[in-house]
Amino acid sequence: MADERPPRPARPEHRLHDALEAFEDAAVEAELETGLREETVAEAKRHVLFRVGRIVAGTVVTIAGLFLIVLPGPGLVVVAIGLALLAQDVPFARRLLDRVRARIPSDAEGNVSKPVLYGGLVVSFGAVCSSLWWAFLR
């Protein structure tokens, strides 16, 4: 009777792996239920990965745009690009995109004016170059 030991709890990496597998199965099942593009499990997995990549890219671009609002650069334009990426998959991003588009200076047709866009890019490039020069080459 002394040899009987209680079962060991699962190691944390096994629990994480099981949780990720359950999440993947749920995401694939939800993707298949929509029935918009996927007919096989492989197509559903590929679309889930594509969607997650688009959400991550949109988040990164939106955060970079928020930094560019404070730093020199076309912050609102970059935020709008990030929100446009997110708006395909995240419902609230569409509403935010409409608000940001209303604040971006545009011409009569609704396009961003070229001087605003190019001016912001030139100022951003100049600020980055001068910062690098100041940090490494002076």
What mean pLDDT comes out for the span 49-69?
86
Reply yes or no on whether the pLDDT at 13 is more than 70.
no
Contacts for 45 with CB less than 8 Å, ≥ 6 apart: 24, 28
82, with CB counted inside 10 A (0-12, 13-18, 19+), is buried
pLDDT-derived band at 66, boundaries 50, 70, 90: confident
Q: Give the residue, 131 or 1, on which the prediction is more confident.
A: 131
Q: What is the pTM of this model?
A: 0.57
pLDDT-derived band at 102, boundaries 50, 70, 90: confident
pLDDT of residue 114: 75
How many C-beta neighbours within 10 Å does residue 120 have?
Answer: 19
What mean pLDDT value characterizes the chain? 77
Using alpha carbons, select from 19, 133, 128, 22 the residue that is nearest to residue 72: 128
